């Protein structure tokens, strides 16, 4: 049996450390969730006659790389602000685990590969939407976070793009059904973003981020706005059934999820507490994947 000497172990640990830093730079968990939303859009948009595995895997790979590049670019632009917040102070750039120059090259190569894969193996429309999403997230949403809550509206556009990308990769076009699944994810992001901003308000203020509506206050007006956007999710969730994209089973699941999600906002309106905002935040994490899985199962 071969034993590993100290130098080999040190090399292995160094490689593992670097790999972990790069995975944190691309925001691995977020990129994986975004990729899932794109896969959801692809399967939902597929006609069922002849599944295109090439386009499917290209979407997964290219979409993941573009999302990862966007996250890395975001961390590069916000490296000085990340140092000020507890939730981000241990990211690779503030901790100097990766140099800024390395991060630039890594981001450029990752974005180039992602765009190239989409261009070569999906279609121009999907590639264009991917590029637009990346540009909006990195160069518009990111700087706007220090300007005001308009950043949430702008950020919701690239945030809702993944299922649309999936749909166009499968069909080559933007249809009413594609806009519906885009719209659900677009509206979902307002209670999602604002709940996170409420919970992380002190951290965000240290970095000068202004994401909460109503003048950035954690008050009844902000809670009401969160409730209104959550309320919109209930009728929006029924549109896929109305247009024949899915059936009654998913409509029931989506309605129940929507009502439960909405119920959480009433607690926030009543007490305006961090605890209630935290429940909405976790509720938003559960709502979207459950709804998307319900739509997929109903179609399959």
Chain centroid to Cα 189, Å, comes to: 9
Tokens of residue 244, six digits: 């024949």
Asked if 72 and 110 count as a contact pair (C-beta separation under 8 A), the reply is: yes
Angle at 183 between CA 143 and CA 163, to 5 degrees: 85
Tokens of residue 205, six digits: 């203020």
Tokens of residue 189, six digits: 């992001």
Cα dihedral 267, 272, 273, 274 sign: positive
Q: pLDDT for 125-151, tens place per residue? A: 999 999 999 999 999 999 999 999 999
Angle at 61 between CA 175 and CA 87, to 5 degrees: 95
Write out the H or E segment, with its range, that includes residue 148: none
> What span, in angstroms and rounded, lies between the C-alpha atoms of 266 and 252?
22
> The pTM is what?
0.93
> What span, in angstroms and rounded, lies between the C-alpha atoms of 219 and 239?
32
Looking at residue 2, what is its pLDDT?
Answer: 53
Q: Report residue 155: phi and psi, to 5°.
A: -65, -25
Low-confidence ranges of the chain (pLDDT < 50): 1
H-assigned helices in the chain: 6-25, 28-45, 53-77, 79-82, 100-121, 124-135, 142-144, 150-171, 176-199, 201-207, 213-216, 220-242, 248-271, 274-299
Chain centroid to Cα 223, Å, comes to: 22
For residue 137, give the 3-state DSSP assignment.
helix
Neighbouring CB atoms inside 10 A of 80's CB total 10
Q: Where are the domains of the chain?
A: 13-172, 175-300
**Homologous superfamily (CATH) for 13-172:** UbiA prenyltransferase (1.10.357.140)
Q: pLDDT for 16-50, tens place per residue? A: 888 899 999 999 999 999 999 999 999 999 876 67
> What span, in angstroms and rounded, lies between the C-alpha atoms of 130 and 161?
8
């Amino acid at each position: 049996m071969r034993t590993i000497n100290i130098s080999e172990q040190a090399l292995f640990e160094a490689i593992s450390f670097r790999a972990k830093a790069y995975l944190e730079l691309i925001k691995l968990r977020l990129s994986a969730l975004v990729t899932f939303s794109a896969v959801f859009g692809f399967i939902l948009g597929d006609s069922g006659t002849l599944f295109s595995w090439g386009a499917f895997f290209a979407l997964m790979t290219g979409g993941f790389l573009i999302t990862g590049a966007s996250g890395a670019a975001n961390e590069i632009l916000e490296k000085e602000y990340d140092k000020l917040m507890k939730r981000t102070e241990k990211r690779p750039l503030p901790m100097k685990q990766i140099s800024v120059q390395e991060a630039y090259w890594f981001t450029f190569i990752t974005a180039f590969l992602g765009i190239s894969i989409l261009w070569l193996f999906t279609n121009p429309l999907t590639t264009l939407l991917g590029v637009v999403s990346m540009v909006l997230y990195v160069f518009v949403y990111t700087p706007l976070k220090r300007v005001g809550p308009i950043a949430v509206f702008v950020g919701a556009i690239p945030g809702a793009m993944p299922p649309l990308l999936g749909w166009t990769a499968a069909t080559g076009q933007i249809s009413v059904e594609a806009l519906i699944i885009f719209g659900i994810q677009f509206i979902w992001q307002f209670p999602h973003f604002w709940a996170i901003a409420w919970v992380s308000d002190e951290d965000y203020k240290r970095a000068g981020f202004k994401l909460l509506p109503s003048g950035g206050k954690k008050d009844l007006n902000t809670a009401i706005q969160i409730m209104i956007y959550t309320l919109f999710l209930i009728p929006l969730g029924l549109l896929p059934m109305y247009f024949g994209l899915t059936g009654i089973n998913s409509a029931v699941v989506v309605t129940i999820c929507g009502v439960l999600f909405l119920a959480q906002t009433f607690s926030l309106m009543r007490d305006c507490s961090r605890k209630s905002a935290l429940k909405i935040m976790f509720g938003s994490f559960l709502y979207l994947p459950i709804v998307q899985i319900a739509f997929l199962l109903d179609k399959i």
